[in-house]
Every structure is written in C-alpha cells, then in structure tokens.
Structure 1
C-alpha cells in the first residue's frame, strides 16, 4: 500500500496507529514547505453524530491544521428536499427580514413542496467526485488577515507575535477606549470588533473579554488566491469545502438532519463542536466563507426565528445566492477563508 492508498478514508480508518504515524511523517516531510515550521503533532479522535475519524492535528507556523483523509468516490450535493429533515415552524410566527421577504416572494414557503424546492435550489447539485487528502486549517480566518495574538482588555497586555503587534500597537490602543466617567461606564460595552483597514482587525471573545488580533491587508478574490499560493497553501474548491464539512455523509447538516433553533440544546452543541474531521465552522451567520471560485459558503443574514430557514446556510451543501466577482473587496468583517495543503499524487 502506497502513501496515497493509505490516505484514502476507506483504508485510513482501518490502519494501525503505527502505520498512521509513518504516513503523517511522510506527509509533513514531502508536502509541507521546508520554509514552514511544523510543531505540536497530536494523534486525535473526532466524532460527530456517529461518524468517527482518528487523525492528526499539527501546527504549521503556529496555526492548527488537521489531516483529512481523501475519498475517490465522495457523494456531494443535495436533491432530497425536506426528506428526513425537521418540519419548519409556521412562517407567520417569524421575524420577516428583507432577505426572507425576498426569498418568500420566489418560493412562498408555505407548503412542504415549497420547502422541497427551496432547499434543493439552495444547495449544490448531487454528484460523485474524487477528493484528495488534505491538511486543512482547523478554523477559518477573516480574509486578508494573519493572526498575531490576543489582547487582554482587563490587564491591557498583549500575548503573541510582538514584532507584528508593535507597528500597530499605538493605533490599536487608541481604538480601544475605556469609559472616562462613571456615567459612561453604566452603558459602556466593549466593541465586538475593531477594524482599521490595511492595518488590523480585532474580534472580541465575550467569554474572556480578550480581543483576537490580526494584521490585515484588504484584498479581492484574485489577490487572496495569489497570496495564499505564494504562502504555499491552497484555497479549497467548493467540492473540497463540502467534503471537509460533512464528510460526504448523506445528511443535510454535518450533525444530522435536525434544524432546531440555536439555543442551548443538543443540536446547538453539535453545531459548535469539531466535526468528524476535527474542523470548526462559523455558525454566527455574520460572514460568508470563500472558496477558490465565486461560490460562497455560509451566509451573512439576519435571523428570522424560523430554524430551518436560519440554519440552512450551515448545511454542508449550501450555496449562497451571492455570487462573488474576482474584483469584490473581501473585508474581514464579511468574509472568512480557510487554507489547506492538498496532497496530490502528480
């Protein structure tokens, strides 16, 4: 069995750990640029809704990547409409956002047949494709950014790449303003994000009250593609994105066919957790995720309170109706991207 046969998922899941260790060693030796620093290689087991994968995580220049086995006969796309999917709530009981109103004009969304058509036309077509094995970034980044560290809003301390932080420190600290009076402190809240174009982008973690801080350079799709390739990575194709999200399982969502509301329930926990490949996906519906083409995944939309409508953009096979042009500006507040190293035999 050669390296590429071993990395086929049907073979990979049956390999002894000793063989898998040999395989990951070859992958890191021959497919990761020698200019990259690889560290913290870990053997992990991931599971989501009964689908398990034992694989490796590692850091490449400080960013976490996961080895995703390939599948030469992956079934992607969706043409089953509402089959097996939780029945939607009554449309009359929701918040009628402009986006919802626009789609309801086309699809009505009153009967199950309406929903069948809507779901099928909101997802990619059913197809069989060959997916190569890949090292995939565990969590997508805002477009045009490089993660440099965390800024603690309580202590005012920065932990991370100090050399990258120093040129933007003064501007960032000026943007991060504390209340100056007791009256201000009563209503003052930390900004969920701070953005200075072509300088930095910061996202607040409400749980820790720390900002994740990124250096930022505005780009379009063509420039993002070139930058990613120059950094010896790939952007995922639409096929590859759908596969790493749902593993080719015949379920509308990576966690199953439940479309429950985003509340503290079992489905919500599954949405948040790592999937069967150990990857994390944004569920905020505040950004699109970019692929190598003009096809966007996820969605930027205001929630309506109708679970199936709100959660459909989280489907493994969802296609945004927004078509990206090569020249569109990819602001980090609107778009995410995910790097990969595709393990090709040629």
Structure 2
C-alpha cells in the first residue's frame, strides 16, 4: 500500500485520494462511512485526508511514514524567553544540567515505521459512560436533579461532581456522563477489538501528535506564550495564538476549546490538559500514558512552560508511570480508537 504512505499520498490527485478512501470503506467495521476529503493545516504541516464517521464519531485517515521519534537534544534551540523560564524554574528543583533534565523526561530516540491508519479525532473517557437523562434519573443520585436543573440555566460549558457525574453543553443539548468505577482497561480493549478497533501505541501517538517533527514541541523548540491554556485563563474567541493560525471547522463546541485542544495537521484533537492521560498500549499489553502527568508540575507551581510540558511536548513520558494507581486516576484516563490499514485487505482492482 505504497500510496498510503505520506510522501506518495501527498502527491496524489484529489481523485486518486477519493478512490483510495472508497476502496478502504467496504473493509471497515460495520457502520463506518466515508464522508469525503478535508484539509487540515497547523504547525507548518498540511494534510488533505479522508474523513470517516462511525456512530457519530469522527475518524481521519493518517498516512504511514518512516520517522525518527524521541528526544535527546535541541533541533533549533530555545528562544531567550523560553530559555530564561526553563533555567529559572528547574534551578528551583536543584537541576544543574537543563538538557539532561529534559532528555530524562522524554522517550528515547528511535527509528520507527508507522503504518497507515484511521484515527479517532477525539478521545473517549475510560471511567465515564454516557447515559440518557432517563438513565441518569434512574440512578437515584440525590444531587443529580438539582445539579441538572441549575446547569441548564447556568450557561456553563461543563460541570462535574467528582467521581459521580459530569454535565457537558454540546450544541444546545446537555450530555450526561456517569462515572463507572468498575470498568477495566482489559475489558475495553477486548470489546474494541471485537468491534474491529485497536488502541494507539506510543510510537503511533507521537507520530500523530508531532508528525515526525524533531523539535520539542510540534511547532518548534520554543514555547508559545501567546497560547490560551486550560487552567491558566478562559479563552476568548475568535482570538487565536500563532499556533492556531488556521480556524478549525466549526463543530458547535469549539467556542470553549483552548489552543492545545484544536485539531492538528491530521485533524486529530488532543486533550491539552496536564491533568489528563491518554493511554497507549504496547504489543505486550503494557500501558504507557501520554499527554499528561496528572497535574504534578502545574500543581507544584511551575510556570506555563513546565506545567504544560507533559501536554505540549511530543515525546514526554511520565517518569512516575510505574507508581501510578490506575484506580485512583480512573476519572483522568482517556483512550483513542484506531484501525490499522495494514491489517485491512483492500480490493486493488
């Protein structure tokens, strides 16, 4: 499937891309439909790609590539503002060698082959399940009726009663998520595989987030201090930072998205929240959380650079992963479905 590798794919005509997406469609899980081509551009990268829908959830085609992942040294180097904040902040922790400190927080440098795949645009909460209003009332939670009524009149985008229920405004409707403390990741993986889906590996996650970039962040080695960041200020649209220079397609929800949450050059959205983990799964079943550190750095009073290093850096690894208690973190865990097209038999005629 050479046509589905990035170098070849980028050079195909729109008609050829359409034909490849339609060729893929019949081999996908039941109910998945091809919607058409769409172009995404961000961080200096641009991709025209296929968009698919499955049970109202969006997937995009991500072409394969051979890339170098991991981080051990600067590619271009920091600007003065980034360097000053980084050295000042890490010195408070007794760090003498900044580069060694950063390298210790990142995945190792390695060459990998990434196969073509369909990737879910948004993540799925592991510890939360969506329920109807009727199902929620059936739980007979004493705080729910009042909370729902007040939320509908509040104008808030989101409300959560810790480890109980969550209310979200979505295009004029209220979505209700109920905490499911009894769920196990192994059960999720087994159910998704039965439906034709897998979870991303760490290699795939770093590729989808950074596109094979060799810089610390997908946009470069320097932090962008113009970004609106969750927990550090409420975004006011339509003002956007330089890193969000292209207006995303309106989905009815992006009025409250922060810069790190906007679709990237593949059309994939990330949490952009250091309190949240996106789970990736190795071939041996080993779990590697990405995109967060449970809020350890931001709770420690670090500046925006270190606070959001876990979410903004392509290659960050939580050094405390072996000490994490997954049961206690269940409300912060998310995952993303993927279909690897190398496993799909395509009609080549």
Structure 1-normalised TM-score? 0.75
User: In the alignment, is residue 213 of structure 1 matched against residue 176 of structure 2?
Assistant: yes
**What is the aligned partner in structure 1 of residue 159 from structure 2?**
192
1:27 Cα offset (Å): 1.4
Distance in 2 between residues matched to 1:69 and 1:26, nearest whole Å: 15
Distance 1:38 1:191, change over 3 A: closer
1:227 Cα offset (Å): 2.6
Q: Say which SS state the counterpart of residue 122 (structure 2) adopts.
A: coil
1:79 Cα offset (Å): 1.0
User: In the alignment, is residue 79 of structure 1 matched against residue 72 of structure 2?
Assistant: yes
**What is the aligned partner in structure 1 of residue 291 from structure 2?**
298
1:57 Cα offset (Å): 1.4
**What is the aligned partner in structure 2 of residue 151 from structure 1?**
none
1:15 Cα offset (Å): 0.5
Residues 126 and 334 of structure 2 are in contact (CA less than 8 Å); yes or no, is this contact kept in structure 1?
A: yes
Residues 258 and 267 of structure 1 are in contact (CA less than 8 Å); yes or no, is this contact kept in structure 2?
A: no
Distance in 1 between residues matched to 2:324 and 2:86, nearest whole Å: 37
Aligned 1:140-179 pairs, distance under 5 A: 140-147=123-130, 165-171=133-139, 174-178=143-147
**What is the aligned partner in structure 1 of residue 4 from structure 2?**
7
**What is the aligned partner in structure 1 of residue 320 from structure 2?**
322
Q: Deviations over 1:268-309 (max 9, x none)?
A: 645232111000111122211101132110222152352321
User: In the alignment, is residue 26 of structure 1 matched against residue 23 of structure 2?
Assistant: yes
Residue 266 of structure 1, aligned match among 233, 241, 245: 241
Distance in 2 between residues matched to 1:50 and 1:230, nearest whole Å: 38
Aligned residues: 303
> Structure 2: which 5+ runs fail to align?
229-238, 245-258, 345-349
Residues 202 and 211 of structure 1 are in contact (CA less than 8 Å); yes or no, is this contact kept in structure 2?
A: no
Distance in 1 between residues matched to 2:21 and 2:328, nearest whole Å: 34
Residues 296 and 324 of structure 1 are in contact (CA less than 8 Å); yes or no, is this contact kept in structure 2?
A: no
Distance in 1 between residues matched to 2:192 and 2:324, nearest whole Å: 15
1:48 Cα offset (Å): 1.0
Q: Say which SS state the counterpart of residue 192 (structure 1) adopts.
A: strand
1:211 Cα offset (Å): 4.5
Residues 297 and 319 of structure 1 are in contact (CA less than 8 Å); yes or no, is this contact kept in structure 2?
A: yes
Distance in 2 between residues matched to 1:10 and 1:196, nearest whole Å: 45
What root-mean-square deviation, in Å, do the aligned CA atoms of Structure 1 and Structure 2 show?
Answer: 3.5
1:128 Cα offset (Å): 0.8
1:265 Cα offset (Å): 5.9
1:5 Cα offset (Å): 1.0
Residues 235 and 340 of structure 1 are in contact (CA less than 8 Å); yes or no, is this contact kept in structure 2?
A: yes
Distance in 1 between residues matched to 2:189 and 2:328, nearest whole Å: 12
Distance in 2 between residues matched to 1:243 and 1:38, nearest whole Å: 24
Distance in 2 between residues matched to 1:52 and 1:82, nearest whole Å: 21
Q: Deviations over 1:30-63 (max 9, x none)?
A: 1x12xx3124613110111221000011211221
Q: Say which SS state the counterpart of residue 295 (structure 1) adopts.
A: strand
Q: Deviations over 1:153-182 (max 9, x none)?
A: xxxxxxxxxxx553334437951425999x
Q: Say which SS state the counterpart of residue 189 (structure 2) adopts.
A: helix
**What is the aligned partner in structure 2 of residue 59 from structure 1?**
53
**What is the aligned partner in structure 2 of residue 307 from structure 1?**
304
**What is the aligned partner in structure 2 of residue 283 from structure 1?**
272
1:223 Cα offset (Å): 2.8
1:331 Cα offset (Å): 5.1
**What is the aligned partner in structure 1 of residue 248 from structure 2?**
none
Distance 1:238 1:54, change over 3 A: same
> Structure 1: which 5+ runs fail to align?
95-99, 149-163, 182-186
Residues 217 and 314 of structure 2 are in contact (CA less than 8 Å); yes or no, is this contact kept in structure 1?
A: yes
Residues 228 and 234 of structure 1 are in contact (CA less than 8 Å); yes or no, is this contact kept in structure 2?
A: yes
Most deviating of 76-85 and 10-19: 76-85
